Amino acid sequence: MRLQDYLAEVTKVILLEPTEEKQLWFQYKNQGDLESRRILIERYQPLVVKALSPWRGNEAILMDLVQEGIIGLIEAVEKYDPERGVAFSLYAIHRIRGRMLNFMEKEVKGCPVSIEVGCETLADGALSVAETAERNFLADQLHTAMERLPNKERLALNGIFFEEQEPRQIASLLQISPPHFYRLQQQGIRRVRGMLSRLMAEMKK
């Protein structure tokens, strides 16, 4: 199968509704229903495409990465425990990317493939492929967590950590007192830590 054909097929995948997904996990994990397993693997194929998106290279190598990603997805479906309360997408994307990274580091060293992050291509070797991808994955998760914060907490953290503004300047822009700003900052940090704690626990396994 050509890469474009695979991508075209994935765009046709219908994402699972929460109640449907819960039922499929129950049937597979509790009843050993292999058809439920097949459906879960099929419906979560977009995760493989998501993990592939930072990579650039020739089609043959990218298709090898797709195959590795599918293996990672299958492993994730087989090992996932719904009772732990961690979203499957977070659990699986880490394993999918891990398979891809392992393949690149072990099988195709020196090949013309790179990871693109934003507008920059990381090709200087300062970090390993795994370290670079891991760092950017965590950065993505941090930004996602911050987007879920209440507005003033999000603006407070953005101002301090990403825009390098002075606390008094941010407090003035938000029309709050400096003590109120520091409370917002601490509350935001606690919320972000809480949102990322499960993900970090899974990554340490």
Residue-averaged pLDDT of the chain? 78
Nearest in space to 189 (alpha carbons), one of 140, 156, 141, 144: 156
Residue 70: pLDDT over 90: yes
* Strand 114-117 to 55-56 pairing: antiparallel
The identity of residue 197, as a single letter, is S
* Residue 198 confidence class, pLDDT cut points 50, 70, 90: low
116 bridge partner residues:
121
Task: With beta carbons less than 8 A apart as the criterion, state whether 29 and 39 touch.
Answer: no
**pLDDT, greater one: 114 or 72:** 72
The arithmetic mean of pLDDT across residues 86-105, rounded, is 84
The arithmetic mean of pLDDT across residues 8-23, rounded, is 92
Q: Which domains does the chain have, with CATH numbers?
A: 3-121 (1.10.1740.10)
Q: Map tokens 């990554």 to a residue.
A: 203
* Residue 42 confidence class, pLDDT cut points 50, 70, 90: very high
- Residue 204 in 3-state DSSP? coil
What pTM value is reported for the model?
0.56
139-147: long-range contacts, CB 8 A cutoff, minimum separation 24 = 141/90, 141/196, 141/199, 142/192, 142/196, 145/191, 145/192, 145/195, 145/196, 146/188, 146/192
Q: Give the span between the Cα atoms of 95 and 92, in whole angstroms.
A: 5
List CB contacts of 162: < 8 A, sequence separation 6 or more.
none
